[in-house]
A and B are shown apart, each in its own frame.
Chain A
Amino acid sequence: MNRRTNIWNAVDWVTVLIFLALAVFGWLNIYGAGYSFEQTSMFSFTNRAGKQFIWLLTAIVLGLVILLIDEKTYDLFGYWFYGAMILLLILTPFLAHDIKGSLSWITLGPISIQPAEFAKCFTAIAVAKYMGRYEYHYRDWHDLIIPGVMVILPMLIIMIWQQETGSALVFCAFLLTFYRQGMSGLVLLAGVLAAIIFVVVIRFGLIPAFIILIVIFGIVLWRIWNHPRVHKYILIGMLVLYLGFSYACTYAFQHVLQAHQRTRIEVLLGMKDDPTGAGYNVNQSIIAIGSGRFFGKGYLKGTQTKLKFVPEQDTDFIFCTVGEEWGFIGSCAVLILYLIFILRLIRIAERQRDTFSQVYAYSVAGIFLVHLTINVGMVLGLLPVIGIPLPMFSYGGSSLWGFTLLLFILLRLDAARMNKLL
């Protein structure tokens, strides 16, 4: 097939539009968050909104450039990109300034770059390349070892070497990719159960966790006891594993987690009341959002965010500004827009004709979903404080560029899908 569809006609412009809408609305809110009653211009490079405007323009240029690059590049050089990125991640702490205890920022002249923001993208490409090989077929969990290592490697580097728990957690998004490619849904359930057990252990102690585990597994075992195809011994083994996990949680909570992480979790679980210390961010965040009521206080009229009660209000806590100034209506609109965006990405993923594109697409959807979940969950006080940006909204060039890269590679792959052999 020689006739190539015109790439510009094939681009999914709806997704681009949603992307731009979120980015522009984010930019307006960054201006709002930094606004301090004697604000000059939205475009002045001296303030954050002005800088974000530059990031936005360059991101659009970056997006257009990516759309022009042949999609085969990623398949061809996927491992090279991945390798280079791993190297950069390892080198980063040597080149980095210490910014708030994390060693993940490289400063180049006036701008700082966070390589971890780009790691997601290249990991997704590498995983897609591996799983998209012609001879690759998912049969059982052995087939996930290599892609799993591909994901865990950058994750560990970021978490341990760069001390960036938030950015590392995003790699959990690949579980959705694996799930779609054949991994058992029980793994996701097991993950959810592990999370529940963790909360129960920390909040109520070991004994209640044991009781819950034994009851759940008891019911399951009782139901399937005479079922010929189910391995009850695996289930019993898992029960033992979970019991061990419960115990490990108590140990890990006391000895592995850092003090501030421990406090954040305790505050979230209501075990500690610390409105001026660890709970301050979330407490102020909830006050800011709650005070927006139904219609919000109006653009640039929020007192909580303007007067800097909410820390990190133009980066990780940008959603507060939305909540305070645009109210329930505006917050819901933003969340629903994100939902539409993610559902659209899933739809794009499903229409791909080759595994490479589909795996990559699911990775992208998963990454956006995890970012949204962790960030908004934190701002709403439902998840512990984990510093990761709200895609397109939060201030920052690296994160905006990282998401642009992630998304526009997908759009290019999607635009080119008609050219793929069935």
Chain B
Amino acid sequence: MLNDNNYKKHYVISGIAIGIVAIYICRLFFLQIIDQSTKEKADNNALVRQTIYPGRGLIYDRNDSLLVFNQPIYEVMFISKEMGDHFDTLGFCKAMDITRAEFDERMAYVTDRNRNRSYSNYTQQVFRGQLSKEDISVLQQTLFNFPGISIRKRTLRDYTYCSAAHLLGSVGEVNQRDIDNDPYYQAGDYSGRDGIERRYETILRGEKGVEVLMRDSRGRIQGSYHNGELDHEPLAGQDITLSIDIRIQLLAEQLLSGKMGSVVAIEPHTGEVLALVSSPAWDPHTLVGRQRSQNYNKLLHDPHKPLMNRALQAQYPPGSTFKLLQALVGLQEGGITEQSMYPCNGPSSTPIKCTHNHGSPVSLEQAIEQSCNPYFWQAFRDILQKDGYGKQNKNFRANYERWRKDILSFGFGSKFEDSDIPDQVSGSIPSTAFYDRYYGKTGWKAITIRSLSIGQGEILVTPLQLANEAACIANEGYYITPHLLHNDSSLTRHTTNVDPKYFPVVKTGMHRVMTNGTGRWYNIEALNMCGKTGTVQNPHGKDHAVFIGFAPMDDPKIAVAVVVENAGFGATWACPVATLMMEKYLTDSISRPDLVNKLTTTHFISE
């Protein structure tokens, strides 16, 4: 040992040891100090942010009838890793009431990472969602037989009435765009997809709660993290009360059954929408839960386009209902006076013939009562040409523009911007520029656009706008933005360009429509109804039946617009719907059950 010439080798050996430890410390330095991703990965591993879904707000009608509520549903979940090799598949199929083939198919789908990218052996996967309490009752009792299977509770929308599907809208799973736009949402969340559900989503949805849990490597929950310091309780969504009166909503839907058309009823002095009906419609229950997408597709491909909310999105020429505005604007602009009389030659009148038999000349009230086309043509002409054409048609064009502005002041030609009614379309009252494009600046005059005088031609309005027109007349000169939320005081009062003093004569005319004119067959004397029928020529088929009106005359509580497509006379098909609704709303009773029956059973479209 004394003459050990290998002595120095212990430096090499020590050096090797030091070198290895040094390399390992560098590695630790990299992993623990430099690499920032590991902390996040560790949290993703171990922490589960379990969302606790708040109850969605309920929806009531103006009389506090519950319209929309929540119904618990169940999801059967599984964790493959925990199911083990001895899983009783047949027993499970039996408990779920499915066949072995269905089981295999579902499992193949869920466990295929190409189709289900979030799949993991270790995490909960949905085996079957949206099951009712009955669906899972057998499984629940025998759950202990099936390791790795669990049942999760969520809620779905449920509806008291098979009604108001368009208006209420539906709730469905969020898409990627929603998730990108609003950090509130995560994949798998539900949100209001349309209608009121979407419009008031932020109120109805509430605040999600969260529970931060720790899970082990097999995905089993091991308790709360940091004693629940990071948890917070969900905050249930707020309930909302709609201005809708479900009684007349239901009645209107019944009356429109088997027809294409729509009804809008408004409480004139508040602008609250009492009924908003589009037909054909669907049972809102069908767009809930598992069958949602399948049923939605069916609706999407239905030739009658039930998904279109005709009350808001269908655009028609207003027909004779427009004559009321013509009268008001004429009085305002001085084209006519309350005493103006115009001759009517009945069916041989030119350039527009009259479709009713009455004496001549006619006064304004009579003209409204008899829906006299020649009167309103002559009135329209005199509004536009009251001071001639002037140079370059200047006076005429200015008068037309004034006329148009007056019409627009009744809410036509644009959406009700501050309204909570979703998916409106604007309709159209043609501008001078519109006609200039067709005819040139001097190429058109009153005779060119004579159809406008009787509400035909290039004018397009929506049923909602028609109802609003009725409300304007009922209110004698103003309207409150039509809206759906009950007791909403934030809405604007819009004054029309027509002086209130011109309204009574038109109202009287409308009253006479109901007592002596086209509405007389369906009038209820006691309710003091006012109305105006319309029969809109339709180049694509049979005329559309239209009616607007309100009641009672002196203190209007309800204004209604009804459109029944391809039905024929407004007096025959639209007027009775409106008067039944007025009656129901004002007296909460129906005195003409036969009429209800007749309308309900008359179908213009095949089911």
Binding site for B on A (CB under 8 A): 36-37, 176, 179-182, 185, 276, 284, 286-294, 303-304, 306-309, 311, 323-324, 327-328, 331-332, 335-336, 338-339, 342-343, 346, 349-350, 352-355, 358, 362, 365-366, 369, 372-373, 376-377, 380-382, 422
Contact = CB atoms under 8 A, between A and B. Distances in A.
Interface in B1-59: 1-2, 6-7, 9-10, 12-14, 16-18, 20-21, 23-25, 27-29, 31-33, 35, 37-39, 41-43, 45-47
Given A308-B217, A335-B21, A343-B14, A287 B32 contact: no
Given A288-B42, A303-B47, A358-B1, A350 B32 contact: no
Contacts of A307: 45-46, 214-217, 222
A358 B9 CA distance: 13
Contacts of A369: 16-17, 20
6 contacts: A179-B12, A286-B38, A290-B35, A307-B222, A350-B7, A373-B20
Contacts of B24: 335, 376-377, 380, 382
Contacts of B94: none
A323 B28 contact: yes
B218 interface: yes
A323 B32 contact: yes
A328 B16 contact: no
A339 B38 contact: no
A262 B121 CA distance: 24
Contacts of A324: 42
A372 B33 contact: no
A375 to B, nearest CB: 10
A296 to B, nearest CB: 9
Contacts of A288: 42
B13 A289 contact: no
A328 B29 contact: yes
A323 B31 CA distance: 10
B223 interface: yes
Nearest to B223: A37
A37 B222 CA distance: 8
Contacts of B2: 422
A350 B222 CA distance: 53
A342 B10 CA distance: 12
B33 A293 contact: yes
Nearest to A336: B21
A294 B33 contact: yes
A346 B10 CA distance: 7
Contacts of A380: 24, 27-28, 31
A287 B41 contact: yes
Contacts of A328: 28-29, 32-33
A180 B16 CA distance: 13
A290 B30 CA distance: 8
Contacts of B217: 284, 307-309, 311
Interface string B158-179: 0000000000000000000000
Given A290-B42, A324-B42, A365-B13, 17 more contacts: A37-B222, A179-B13, A185-B9, A287-B41, A290-B31, A291-B39, A303-B47, A304-B46, A323-B32, A331-B32, A335-B25, A339-B18, A346-B14, A350-B7, A352-B1, A369-B16, A377-B24
Contacts of A294: 32-33
B82 to A, nearest CB: 13
B28 A291 contact: no
A349 B10 CA distance: 9
A206 B359 CA distance: 111
A290 B45 CA distance: 13
B32 A289 contact: yes
Contacts of A309: 45-46, 216-217
A128 to B, nearest CB: 14
Contacts of B20: 369, 372-373
Contacts of B223: 37
Contacts, number: 134
A290 B32 contact: yes
Contacts of B1: 352-355, 358
Contacts of B7: 350
A190 to B, nearest CB: 15
Nearest to A329: B32
Closest 6 CB pairs of A and B: A290-B38, A291-B42, A303-B46, A307-B216, A290-B31, A328-B32
B216 A308 contact: yes
A324 B10 CA distance: 34
Contacts of A308: 216-218
Contacts of A376: 24
A147 to B, nearest CB: 15
B21 A338 contact: yes
A339 B17 contact: yes
Contacts of B42: 287-288, 290-291, 303-304, 324
Contacts of B23: 382
A287 B28 CA distance: 12
B255 to A, nearest CB: 62
Given A176-B13, A291-B38, A303-B46, A332 B25 contact: yes
A286 B17 contact: no
A373 B32 CA distance: 19
A293 B41 CA distance: 13
A288 B41 CA distance: 9
Contacts of B32: 289-290, 292-294, 323, 327-328, 331
B12 A185 contact: yes
Name, among A286, A307, A309, A311, the residue most crowded by chain B CB atoms within 10 Å (CB to CB): A307
Contact of B39 (A293, A306, A354): A293
Contacts of B27: 380-382
A352 B16 CA distance: 21
A336 B32 CA distance: 17
Nearest to B40: A291
Contacts of B41: 287, 290-291
A9 to B, nearest CB: 23
Contacts of A339: 17-18, 21
Contact of B9 (A179, A290, A292, A352): A179
Contact of B17 (A180, A292, A327, A342): A342
Contacts of B38: 286-287, 289-291
Nearest to B12: A185
Nearest to B5: A182
A192 to B, nearest CB: 10
Interface string B302-334: 000000000000000000000000000000000
A181 B47 contact: no
A350 B223 CA distance: 55
A327 B267 CA distance: 70
Given A180-B6, A293-B39, A287 B45 contact: yes
Interface in B210-228: 214-218, 222-223, 225
A289 B31 contact: yes
Name, among B23, B42, B222, the residue most crowded by chain A CB atoms within 10 Å (CB to CB): B42
A382 B22 CA distance: 13
B28 A331 contact: yes
Contacts of B43: 291, 303
A349 B45 CA distance: 46
B363 to A, nearest CB: 88
Nearest to A292: B32
Name, among B39, B46, B214, B218, the residue most crowded by chain A CB atoms within 10 Å (CB to CB): B46
Contacts of B214: 303, 306-307
B112 to A, nearest CB: 16
Contacts of A381: 27
A291 B32 CA distance: 7
A343 B9 contact: no
